[in-house]
């Protein structure tokens, strides 16, 4: 993850022909294979793009720049959020980079930025999976949670709880704001992203053990995994 004051970016390398990757990013029928639940794309400068990503998330904007097979820019309807998608040939495939630029990024919390970039990273991983293995891995996305918001903690390494939803399984387990989740069932948690991936590997209603740092204490807390509150 690269991050500066008003710009954040994720990228991945896809081992597929350039033309195929370009189509995957610009044509509705191909976007629906890995990214969108529904897409309406008028792919030309001045044309509009609408995307339903599933899980209650949508985006819409105007294409302001298009360099065929290299780069395109989508600007939000209010003009304050720009998505720059770049393709580059590299030794082992096509590097796909998605960069967001906006004045709001500098005032977003770390949690909000991590959440946004995690979602982008998930979909880019699916782009790679679909075009390298013909496997759509979206059924494994956002299926489980415990009812917390959290952000990467550097020392001790883990993810720091920001909020605990009332009556959630985390609340029932006794998790509190400022707790540092360091492990799930012995798997080390290095930050926001690793927690989200680890929890989504668990079955709904599965009992898990969280290793938690709370001030000077080390706690081992049992918690049930709940289903994600928003469906695809």
pLDDT tens digits for 158-214?
A: 999 999 999 999 999 999 999 999 999 999 999 999 999 999 999 999 999 999 999
Strand partners, 216: none
CB 183 within 8 A of CB 210: yes
**Separation of alpha carbons 76 and 53, rounded Å:** 16
Architecture of the 2-135 domain: 2-Layer Sandwich (3.30)
**Separation of alpha carbons 224 and 208, rounded Å:** 6
Segment 9-39, tens digit of pLDDT? 999 999 999 999 999 999 999 999 999 999 9
Q: What class is the 142-227 domain?
A: mainly beta
User: Would you kindly state where each structural domain of the chain is located, as residue ranges?
Assistant: 2-135, 142-227
Q: What is the CA radius of gyration of the chain?
A: 19
Task: Judge whether 2-135 and 142-227 match in fold.
Answer: no
């Amino acid at each position: 993850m690269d991050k500066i004051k008003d710009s954040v970016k994720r990228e991945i390398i896809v081992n597929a022909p350039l033309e195929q990757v370009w189509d995957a990013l610009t044509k509705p029928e191909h976007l629906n294979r890995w990214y969108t639940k529904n897409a309406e794309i008028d792919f030309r400068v001045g044309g509009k793009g609408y995307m339903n990503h599933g899980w209650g998330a949508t985006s819409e904007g105007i294409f302001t720049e298009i360099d065929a097979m290299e780069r395109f820019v989508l600007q939000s309807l209010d003009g304050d959020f720009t998505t720059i998608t770049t393709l580059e040939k590299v030794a082992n495939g096509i590097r796909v980079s998605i960069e967001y630029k906006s004045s709001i990024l500098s005032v977003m919390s770390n949690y909000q930025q991590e959440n946004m970039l995690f979602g982008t990273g998930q979909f880019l991983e699916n782009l790679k999976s679909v075009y390298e293995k013909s496997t759509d891995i979206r059924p494994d996305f956002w299926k489980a949670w415990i009812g917390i918001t959290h952000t990467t903690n550097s020392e001790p390494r883990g993810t720091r709880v920001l909020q605990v939803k009332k009556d959630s399984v985390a609340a029932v387990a006794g998790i509190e704001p400022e707790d540092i989740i360091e492990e799930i069932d012995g798997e080390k948690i290095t930050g926001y992203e690793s927690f989200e991936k680890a929890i989504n590997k668990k079955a709904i209603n599965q009992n898990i053990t969280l290793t938690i740092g709370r001030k000077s204490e080390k706690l081992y807390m049992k918690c049930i995994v709940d289903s994600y509150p928003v469906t695809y």
